């Protein structure tokens, strides 16, 4: 991690020199000289393999100096920037202070360079001492041998346990091994370290069917430090009966130990040549390791198989073209069964221990290795309520003690084998609370803001960050929690043990620190601070805002603040700002001082109350994403608005006042990909403005918020034309020219679906909200859109005065639709014609209480995978529970969604009844 720190500092200094050369006037030569020193230090780090003893001390010293250098330069740039913002009189009065500032920073840089030279000289002296004593190589070899011995011992302990679970997994693997043609084939099992890949492979290896099918079987353990010759020798121990005696004897001309790698491979090939064999290649880490050994396994046309276990998806795919078998975590029942067998060994146990035991097992999150190690610890303790109470709540602490070696097997091996570019991204996951579903989009934005995504060339750094995320997923370090409807990852999570590793490694390297109580006034100064306590006092928050002015990422959780601090402009290097609070409706002008800002996130879209934002948003020239809970209402004078925001890609809907209209017509957002327009009540300028929006050639996602009034009767009985002066046909005619659009959302559509409409030609995802009624004609027009893949229709949840209507999808309509969602619609009957929605995969129906049945044609759709119904009618529940459906279709009946409890629903019912 120390190497990464220096790399980040170097890149940051280079960025500052290139971008803000005018702010470094007077010290630019010293900054450049400091860059040269750090570059040499970086090369020194690249040649340092060991991270213990003196090397560890040196690395820590270099890291501290790199951090200090970054702070010195950042502080100087911030102060100069503040100085330049002053009036002419203010700058004259501060001229003496400016001279002192230059002298001060020059002195600090010189001192940093002296410190770096001293570290370098001390390192040279230590290296010379090592060469004379020749201690390094011997120590390193001894350490590696000790670690490998411990790992093998623990693996044997795990494999010797009675196997719990894996029944279906073993059936799937055995089927893959037995089926297929006569060509040699590789089958792979992948998953997180400690998940039981080796245990599953052993279960398959010893299966009677497998033994009968493959008369020749062999097992070879690879490890992350693969030595090809040693691997081949170990393989021959399984294949040659007299090999062990031969290898123990003295060397002779014909001794097998004297053979070269190629000769050993030839010997392995000769043992396997005419046999149907099964070889287990256990714990494969690198693609090149497979490339070096695979030619020892002949493709002899006898149906031979190779079973590979690995933590890395890319390795499994490289070794065999079949889709890998993804090993899952144990469920609660399997976890308790495994724990119980190990602790009590078949004996009866006190009834009062079961709740405690299950609570502890739950902390293992289904990881077999953790369960076995925990059980092993408790098996040797007194089996009493008093003793077990000591362990509850501290399971991870017990699991990660040195004597358990869990940290070495599950954690360190995977982390140490990460490419340097991925290490900081992985460690960053420790900032999030335990068992937290991490939203992917903000995570990628934070990685970019922190400077973790370097050297992207012409590629968008967010695309590179997404690649990094998938690499960590493929390495079994991140778990996918939820997918988007377009199959992208929506949320992810990290196992608690891996999260603990992130925290411990980061704390040691002063990368970040996590606080979980009110004692946040700690003497340490981490680069990043995560506080998992919403009871932060006002005094402590004031301290945070004062002492962390160099932060690049600032995120304040819900309820932690009710307004944006007026001094937010002092955070000169802020690149990512997230304040998730429903109370924020005003953004101060001082935010325009944050020239480095890339992301402003004020929470998910959830309300109609506007958020006031200064119109001079164009001053934030690096801004890429601006999202708010409600529409953005720009304020102030547009004077000087000729500048462009070339980096801006997404922005929440803009209230169409004169400021927003002016900026759009002036082309302020030339590269925007996602934008929204919130139409002001009673205004008729929408059609005209859409002509300007058409000029945005990169726009692919468009949101229109039509006028909305809280008066129930007005909302339901006024049409779109009366409310905004734009006829429905005219609106869609204007939108029809948006050929680049793929995602379209219209809020408060009211009666738009009661007439003929035409969508933009390339739209694949459509969301319509605030529907009061739907006609057959409107639904037919939607169904004729050939490219539509995702359709979401939302009504008014609170209004029950609407008339009911039927939903008719004629035969052959919606030819490409894959996802269909209906929510709060007053549908009484849904008709699905023959051949309609032939590719439908997912159906979601929520709060459609008047719909008592689903069309029979639905269950004959061959691609249908999931039907999810929330708060159905009583009759719908009875029909669905008695329905016989294809096993391939997952049917979920949910009384209430996770975000709503029974009291919430009763409140909604009360509102709906008037």
Q: What share of the chain is helix, strand, coil (3-state, %, to 5)?
A: 45, 15, 40
Pick the CATH number of 545-707 from 3.30.300, 1.10.1220, 1.10.3280, 3.80.10: 3.80.10
Share of the chain above pLDDT 90, in %: 33
- Which tens digits make up the pLDDT trace of 133-147? 455 555 555 655 655
Share of the chain above pLDDT 70, in %: 73
Residue range(s) of every CATH 1.10.10.10 domain in the chain: 420-512
- Of the ranges 301-310, 541-550, 701-710, which is most confident? 301-310
> For residues 858 and 850, what is the distance between their CA atoms, to the nearest angstrom?
18
pLDDT reported for residue 715: 41
Query: Would you call 790 helix, strand, or coil by DSSP?
Result: strand
pLDDT reported for residue 645: 93
> For residues 504 and 510, what is the distance between their CA atoms, to the nearest angstrom?
10
The whole-chain average pLDDT of the chain stands at 80
Of 239 and 561, more confident = 239
Question: Does residue 826 contact residue 804 with C-beta atoms inside 8 Å?
Answer: yes
Question: Does residue 187 contact residue 307 with C-beta atoms inside 8 Å?
Answer: yes
- Which tens digits make up the pLDDT trace of 162-184? 567 788 899 999 999 998 889 99
pLDDT reported for residue 701: 94
Q: Where are the alpha helices (DSSP H) in 179-295?
A: 197-205, 208-213, 228-239, 243-248, 261-272, 287-293
- Which tens digits make up the pLDDT trace of 409-465? 777 788 888 888 898 899 999 888 888 899 999 999 999 988 888 777 788 899 999
pLDDT reported for residue 252: 44
Residue 546 CA to chain centroid, in angstroms?
31
Of 406 and 609, more confident = 609
> For residues 340 and 843, what is the distance between their CA atoms, to the nearest angstrom?
41
> For residues 25 and 706, what is the distance between their CA atoms, to the nearest angstrom?
51
Nearest CA to 189 among 367, 317, 308? 308
Of 226 and 307, more confident = 307
Mean pLDDT, to the nearest integer, of 20-32? 63
pLDDT reported for residue 90: 46
Place of tokens 């949101």: 703
Residue range(s) of every CATH 3.80.10 domain in the chain: 545-707, 735-913
Q: Would the pLDDT of 8 be above 50?
A: yes
Question: Does residue 587 contact residue 612 with C-beta atoms inside 8 Å?
Answer: yes
Q: What are phi and psi of 166, to 5 degrees?
A: 65, 5
Grade residue 100 by pLDDT with cuts at 50, 70 and 90. Answer: low
- Which tens digits make up the pLDDT trace of 478-537? 999 888 876 789 999 998 888 888 888 887 766 777 766 544 545 456 667 776 655 555
450, two tokens: 């922190």
Of 810 and 800, more confident = 810
pLDDT reported for residue 315: 92
Nearest CA to 562 among 576, 546, 541? 541
Residue 450 CA to chain centroid, in angstroms?
15
Grade residue 745 by pLDDT with cuts at 50, 70 and 90. Answer: very high
Q: What is the DSSP string of 823-834?
A: ES--EEEEEE-T
> For residues 581 and 534, what is the distance between their CA atoms, to the nearest angstrom?
13
Question: Does residue 225 contact residue 152 with C-beta atoms inside 8 Å?
Answer: no
Query: Would you call 334 helix, strand, or coil by DSSP?
Result: helix
> For residues 271 and 201, what is the distance between their CA atoms, to the nearest angstrom?
22
Residue range(s) of every CATH 1.20.5 domain in the chain: 1-123
Question: Does residue 766 contact residue 734 with C-beta atoms inside 8 Å?
Answer: no
Give the DSSP letter of residue 589. G
> For residues 66 and 527, what is the distance between their CA atoms, to the nearest angstrom?
12
Grade residue 908 by pLDDT with cuts at 50, 70 and 90. Answer: low
> For residues 376 and 430, what is the distance between their CA atoms, to the nearest angstrom?
27
How many other C-beta atoms lie within 10 A of the C-beta of residue 21? 11
* Fold category of 329-417 in CATH: Helicase, Ruva Protein; domain 3 (1.10.8)
How many helices (H) and strands (E) in the chain? 34, 29
- Of the ranges 6-15, 130-139, 724-733, 884-893, which is most confident? 884-893
529, two tokens: 């601070």
pLDDT reported for residue 598: 93
Least confident stretch, 13-27, 50-64, 66-80, 600-614: 13-27
Of 794 and 252, more confident = 794
**What is the CATH architecture of 175-248+256-326?**
3-Layer(aba) Sandwich (3.40)
pLDDT reported for residue 234: 85
> For residues 658 and 638, what is the distance between their CA atoms, to the nearest angstrom?
9
* Fold category of 420-512 in CATH: Arc Repressor Mutant, subunit A (1.10.10)
How many other C-beta atoms lie within 10 A of the C-beta of residue 361? 24
User: Which helix H or strand E contains 219, and what residues bound it?
Assistant: strand 216-221
- Which tens digits make up the pLDDT trace of 426-438? 999 988 888 889 9
Q: What is the DSSP string of 593-644?
A: G-TT--EEE---S--SS-EEEESGGGG-TT--EEE-SS-EEEES--TTTT--
> For residues 304 and 272, what is the distance between their CA atoms, to the nearest angstrom?
9
Of 37 and 276, more confident = 276
10 Å CB burial of residue 432 (0-12, 13-18, 19+) is buried
For the sheet with 438-439, list strands across it: 438-439, 489-493, 479-483
Residue range(s) of every CATH 1.10.8 domain in the chain: 329-417
User: Which helix H or strand E contains 891, and what residues bound it?
Assistant: strand 890-894
- Which tens digits make up the pLDDT trace of 347-397? 777 788 889 899 999 888 888 888 888 888 888 888 888 888 888 888 888
**What is the CATH architecture of 1-123?**
Up-down Bundle (1.20)
Query: Would you call 399 helix, strand, or coil by DSSP?
Result: helix
Of 345 and 262, more confident = 262
β-sheet bridge partners, residue 530: 514
pLDDT reported for residue 170: 92
Q: What are phi and psi of 489, to 5 degrees?
A: -85, 125
CATH number for the domain running over 735-913: 3.80.10
Q: Would the pLDDT of 31 be above 80?
A: no
How many other C-beta atoms lie within 10 A of the C-beta of residue 540? 16
Q: What are phi and psi of 513, to 5 degrees?
A: -140, 145
Of 531 and 903, more confident = 531
pLDDT reported for residue 533: 58
Grade residue 253 by pLDDT with cuts at 50, 70 and 90. Answer: very low
pLDDT reported for residue 394: 83
pLDDT reported for residue 717: 40
pLDDT reported for residue 93: 41
Query: Would you call 753 helix, strand, or coil by DSSP?
Result: helix
- Which tens digits make up the pLDDT trace of 536-563? 555 555 655 566 667 888 887 766 677 8
Mean pLDDT, to the nearest integer, of 262-285? 91
- Which tens digits make up the pLDDT trace of 286-299? 999 999 999 999 99
Residues with Cβ within 8 Å of residue 518, at least 6 apart in sequence = 533, 535, 536, 537, 540
> For residues 617 and 619, what is the distance between their CA atoms, to the nearest angstrom?
5
How many other C-beta atoms lie within 10 A of the C-beta of residue 358? 14
pLDDT reported for residue 250: 45
> For residues 306 and 210, what is the distance between their CA atoms, to the nearest angstrom?
12
């Amino acid at each position: 991690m120390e190497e990464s720190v220096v790399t980040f500092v170097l890149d940051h200094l280079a960025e500052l020199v290139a971008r803000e050369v005018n702010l470094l006037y007077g010290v630019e030569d010293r900054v450049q000289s400091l860059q040269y020193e750090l570059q040499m230090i970086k090369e020194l780090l690249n040649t340092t393999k060991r991270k213990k003893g003196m090397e560890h001390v040196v690395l820590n010293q270099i890291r501290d100096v790199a951090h200090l250098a970054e702070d010195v330069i950042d502080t100087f740039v911030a102060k100069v920037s503040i100085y330049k913002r002053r009036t002419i009189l203010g700058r004259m009065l501060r001229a003496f202070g400016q001279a002192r500032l230059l002298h001060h920073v020059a002195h600090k840089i010189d001192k940093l360079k002296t410190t770096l030279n001293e570290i370098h000289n001390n390192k040279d002296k230590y290296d010379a001492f090592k060469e004379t004593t020749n201690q390094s190589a011997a120590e390193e070899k001894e350490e590696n041998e000790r670690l490998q011995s411990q790992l093998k011992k623990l693996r044997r302990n795990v494999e010797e346990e009675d196997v719990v679970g894996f029944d279906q997994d073993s059936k799937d693997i055995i089927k893959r091994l037995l089926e297929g043609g006569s060509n040699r084939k590789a089958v792979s099992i992948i998953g997180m370290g400690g998940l039981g890949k080796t245990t599953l492979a052993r279960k398959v290896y010893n299966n009677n069917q497998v033994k009968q099918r493959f008369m020749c079987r062999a097992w070879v353990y690879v490890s992350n430090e693969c030595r090809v010759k040693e691997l081949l020798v170990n393989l021959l121990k399984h294949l040659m009966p007299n090999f062990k005696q031969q290898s123990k004897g003295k060397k002779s001309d014909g001794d097998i130990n004297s053979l070269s790698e190629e000769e050993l491979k030839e010997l392995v090939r000769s043992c396997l040549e005419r046999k149907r064999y099964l070889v287990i290649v256990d714990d494969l880490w690198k693609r090149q390791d497979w490339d070096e050994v695979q030619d020892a396994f002949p493709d002899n046309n006898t149906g031979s198989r190779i079973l590979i276990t690995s933590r890395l998806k890319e390795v499994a795919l490289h070794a065999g073209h079949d889709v890998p078998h993804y090993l899952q975590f144990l469920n609660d029942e399997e976890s308790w069964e495994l724990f119980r067998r190990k602790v009590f060994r078949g004996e009866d146990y006190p009834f009062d221990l079961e709740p405690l035991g299950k609570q502890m097992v739950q902390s293992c999150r289904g990881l077999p290795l953790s369960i076995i190690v925990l059980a092993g610890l408790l098996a040797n303790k007194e089996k009493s309520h008093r003793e077990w109470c000591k362990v509850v709540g501290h399971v991870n602490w017990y699991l990660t003690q040195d004597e358990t070696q869990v940290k070495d097997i599950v954690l360190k091996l995977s982390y140490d084998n990460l490419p340097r570019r991925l290490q900081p991204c992985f460690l960053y996951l420790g900032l999030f609370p335990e068992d937290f579903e991490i939203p992917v989009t903000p995570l990628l934005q934070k990685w970019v803001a922190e400077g973790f995504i370097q050297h992207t060339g012409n590629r968008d750094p967010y695309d590179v960050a997404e690649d990094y995320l998938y690499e960590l997923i493929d390495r079994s370090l991140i778990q996918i929690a939820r997918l988007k409807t377009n199959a992208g990852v929506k949320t992810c999570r990290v196992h608690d043990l891996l999260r603990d590793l992130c925290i411990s490694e980061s704390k040691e390297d002063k990368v970040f620190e996590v606080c979980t109580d009110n004692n946040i006034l700690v003497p340490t100064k981490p680069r990043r601070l995560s506080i998992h306590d919403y009871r932060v006092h006002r005094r402590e928050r004031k301290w945070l805002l004062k002492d962390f002015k160099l932060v690049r990422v600032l995120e304040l959780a819900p309820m932690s603040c009710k307004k944006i601090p007026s001094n937010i402009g002092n955070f000169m290097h802020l690149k990512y700002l997230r304040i998730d609070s429903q109370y924020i409706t005003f953004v101060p002008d001082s935010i325009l001082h944050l020239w480095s800002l890339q992301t402003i996130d004020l929470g998910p879209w959830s309300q109609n109350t506007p958020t006031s934002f200064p119109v001079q948003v164009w001053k934030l020239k690096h801004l890429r994403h601006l999202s708010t809970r409600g529409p953005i209402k720009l304020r102030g004078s547009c004077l000087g608005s000729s500048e462009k925001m070339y980096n801006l890609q997404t922005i929440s809907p803009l209230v169409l006042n004169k400021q927003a209209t002016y900026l759009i017509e002036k082309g302020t957002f030339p590269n925007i990909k996602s934008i929204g327009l919130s139409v002001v009540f009673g205004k008729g300028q929408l059609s005209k403005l859409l002509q300007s929006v058409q000029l945005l050639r990169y726009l692919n996602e468009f949101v229109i918020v039509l006028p909305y009034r809280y008066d129930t009767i007005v909302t339901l009985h006024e049409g779109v034309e009366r409310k905004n002066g734009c006829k429905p046909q005219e609106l869609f005619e204007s939108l029809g020219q948006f050929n680049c659009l793929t995602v379209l959302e219209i809020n408060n559509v009211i009666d738009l679906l009661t007439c003929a409409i035409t969508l933009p030609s390339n739209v694949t995802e459509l969301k319509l909200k605030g529907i009061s009624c739907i006609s057959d004609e409107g639904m037919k027009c939607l169904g004729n859109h050939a490219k539509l893949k995702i359709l979401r229709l939302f009504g008014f949840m609170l209004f029950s005065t609407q008339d009911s209507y039927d939903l008719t999808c004629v035969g052959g309509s919606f030819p490409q639709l894959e996802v269909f969602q209906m929510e709060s619609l007053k549908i009484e009957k849904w008709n699905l014609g023959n051949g309609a929605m032939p590719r439908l995969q997912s159906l979601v129906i929520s709060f459609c209480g008047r719909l008592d049945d689903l069309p029979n044609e639905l269950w004959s759709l061959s691609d249908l995978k999931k039907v999810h119904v929330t708060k159905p009618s009583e009759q719908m529940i009875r029909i669905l529970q008695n329905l016989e459906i294809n096993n391939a279709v997952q049917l979920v009946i949910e009384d209430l969604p996770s975000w709503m409890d029974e009291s919430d629903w009763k409140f909604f019912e009360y509102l709906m009844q008037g």
